Amino acid sequence: MIKNLLEYLYSDLDEKRDRVAFSDINESLTFGDLYDISRAIGTELAHASFRREPVAIYMDRRPAMIAAFLGVLAGGCFYVPLDSTAPAGRVKAVLETAAPRVMICGRDNLKKAEELEFKGRVIVYEDMAGRCDSVDDEALAKIFDAQIDTDPAYIVFTSGSTGTPKGVVACHRSVIDYIENLSDILEVDKDTVFGNQSPFYFDACLKEIYPTLKFGASAWIVPREYFMFPVKLVEFLNEHRINTICWVGSALRMVLSLGTFKTVKPQYLRTVAFGSEVFPPEQLRLWKEAVPAGAMFINLYGPTEGTGMCCFYKVDREFEPNDHIPIGRPFKNCEVLLIGDDGREVEAGETGEIYVRGTCVTMGYFNNPEKTSDAYVQNPLNAAYPEILYRTGDLARRNERGELVFVSRRDYQIKHMGHRIELGEIEGVVSNIEGVEIAACVYDETADRIVLVYKGTARPASVNVSLKNTLPRYMLPGRTEKVEEMPFTPGGKIDRKGLKERYATAGV
C-alpha cells in the first residue's frame, strides 16, 4: 500500500525515466526531469527547515509547475497553487488565509509577484531546476520516512460566500484513494495521452497529473487560448494523438456552438469525461457522433471537499433532449447519502442533500474552524462514534434505475465556466465599490452568465472596470444593470426570484 503521492513518480522510474511526462507548446519534462527537479526543490526546503507547512506556488500553468508541486511534497510540505492570472487583490486574500512562509515563483512572474507584497522567502523555480546535482538524498529519505498518509498534500482555494476564499486541505491518502479509483473508471494505462484543460490552481488538474505519474503515461497542457479557436484545438488533439480528455461541460459546448466538427473531427479520442456542470443530452449526442466509434463518455460529479470527483456515470444509453444525464453512482470506497430536512435518509425518488462519506473527504478549510464545522459534520445517521462526512449543499435524487441525478443547489452557489462561485462573494466585492448602495447577483443559466443588479450613483462601466481589478475573469458579471430601487420581498430580503425573472430570462 502506498502512503505518499511521490511513490507514483518513484515506481518503475528506471523504465520511464527518459520518457516525456508533461508537455505544453513551449516545454517538456520527462519523468527523470520531474524526479531531479523535485528533489532539488525538496532539498532546498529541507535545508531551510521548511517542514509540514504550506508552500505557495506562483507560476503559470506549464509542466514546470507540476515539478514544483512534487518538489514541495519531496520537502515534506504541502503546496498552495496560486492563480497567476488573477488580480493581485484576490491572490493576496488567498495568501492571507494560507499564511505561507515561503513561495516558489517562476522567473517570469517575479515582477508580478511584487504586487502581492509577500513578506516570506521567495524561491525562484529556475534557480532550483538548475541545481539538481546538489540533492541531499539522506535528508529527503528521512523526510519521506517520517511522512504519513494523513499529512496534507495541497490546499486549493474555492469561492467563499462571505467574500473570503476558503482553502480546502487534502491529505495524501485522500488523493491516492481518488487516483486509484478514477484511473479505473477512465481506464488509464501507459498509452493514455491526456489533454489537460483545467487550470492548476484547482483540484481538477489532479485527474491528469497523478495518473500520468502512476502509469508512466503522458499529458499535454492545452493552451488556454485554444479554447477560443476550436479548429486549432481539435487539430492540437489530433497532432498529439490525445486520447483522453476530462473537460468542463462549457469547454465541450464551446466547440459545438462554433460548428467545429464540420471542419475537423477528433481522431484519437477514446475517453471523454465531462463534469462540474450540467451537460445537455443533445450536445452529448453531437459529440458522440464526432468522435471515433466506441469512445467512452463519462459524467463526473464531485466537490473539491471530496478531493475531486466522487460519482460517475458511464453513458450507456440514449437520452431525450429534456432528460438529465445522471451523475450515476459513487466511486469505489465512497458512499453518498441523500439526507432530508429531518436529518434522515430520504425515501426512494425523493430529493435530499448529498453527504459524502469516505476516504475522499478532505481535512477541512485551512485556518477556518467555523466554516469547517458547518460543512464537515458528524454522520447524522451515526451517534455512536466520531465520523465526519462532507455536506455538499447539492440536492439530488435517485431515478428509477437507482442512479443519482443532480437536482440543484441549496444556496446561491453556481457553476460558471467550470468554476464554483458563491454569488455572495461577488455581491460583497460590489458593495465595497464607491457609489454602490446595494447589490445582488443572479445567474442566467440559459445565457450562461452572471447578472449583477445594483442601486447607487456609480456608472455600470466603472463598476465593471473596478470588478476587473478585484475578481478573476470567470467571476465577472456578463450583464450589469443599474436600478432605481432594489426589489424586496415582504420578509425584507432582496427579491432574487423577481430579479431573476426580470433580468435573467433568455431573450430579454
Partner 1 sequence: MEEYLDTVKEILRDLHPDEDIDECESLVSDGILDSYDIITIITQLADEFDAVITADRITPENFDSAQAIAELVDEILNG
- 263 is a site residue for partner 1 (CB under 8 A): yes
Chosen residue from 3, 232, 265, 502 binding partner 1 by CB under 8 A: 232
CB 26 → partner 1: shortest distance, Å? 15
> Given the complex with partner 1, which of 263 and 505 has the nearer CB atom?
263
> Given the complex with partner 1, which of 195 and 303 has the nearer CB atom?
195
Distance of CA 351 to the CA centre of its chain: 26
- 468 is a site residue for partner 1 (CB under 8 A): yes
Distance of CA 378 to the CA centre of its chain: 25
- 231 is a site residue for partner 1 (CB under 8 A): yes
CB 62 → partner 1: shortest distance, Å? 15
> Given the complex with partner 1, which of 144 and 229 has the nearer CB atom?
229
- 88 is a site residue for partner 1 (CB under 8 A): no
Give whole-number Cα distances, 108 to 105, 333, 344, 475, in Å.
8, 42, 53, 25
Identify the H or E element spanning 139. Answer: helix 137-146
> Given the complex with partner 1, which of 259 and 498 has the nearer CB atom?
259
Cβ neighbours for 288, distance < 8 A, ≥ 6 positions apart: 295, 297, 315
> Given the complex with partner 1, which of 251 and 298 has the nearer CB atom?
251
Chosen residue from 1, 293, 383, 461 binding partner 1 by CB under 8 A: 461
- 236 is a site residue for partner 1 (CB under 8 A): no
- 227 is a site residue for partner 1 (CB under 8 A): yes
- 417 is a site residue for partner 1 (CB under 8 A): yes
Strand partners, 436: 456
For cell 439530488, name the residue. 396
CB 461 → partner 1: shortest distance, Å? 4
- What does 158-206 look like in DSSP terms, one character per residue? E--TTSS-EEEEEEHHHHHHHHHHHHHHHT--TT-EEEE-S-TTSGGGH
Chosen residue from 117, 145, 225, 320 binding partner 1 by CB under 8 A: 225
Distance CA 334, CA 291 (A): 31
Contact predicate 126/109, CB 8 Å: no
Return the residues of window 277-336 that contact partner 1 according to CB under 8 A. Answer: none
Chosen residue from 111, 119, 262, 493 binding partner 1 by CB under 8 A: 262
CB neighbours (10 Å) of residue 360? 26
> Given the complex with partner 1, which of 155 and 417 has the nearer CB atom?
417
Axis-axis angle for helices 230-239, 249-257 (nearest 10): 110
Applying CB under 8 A, the residues found at the interface with partner 1 are 225, 227-232, 254, 257-260, 262-264, 417, 448-449, 461, 464-465, 468, 473, 478
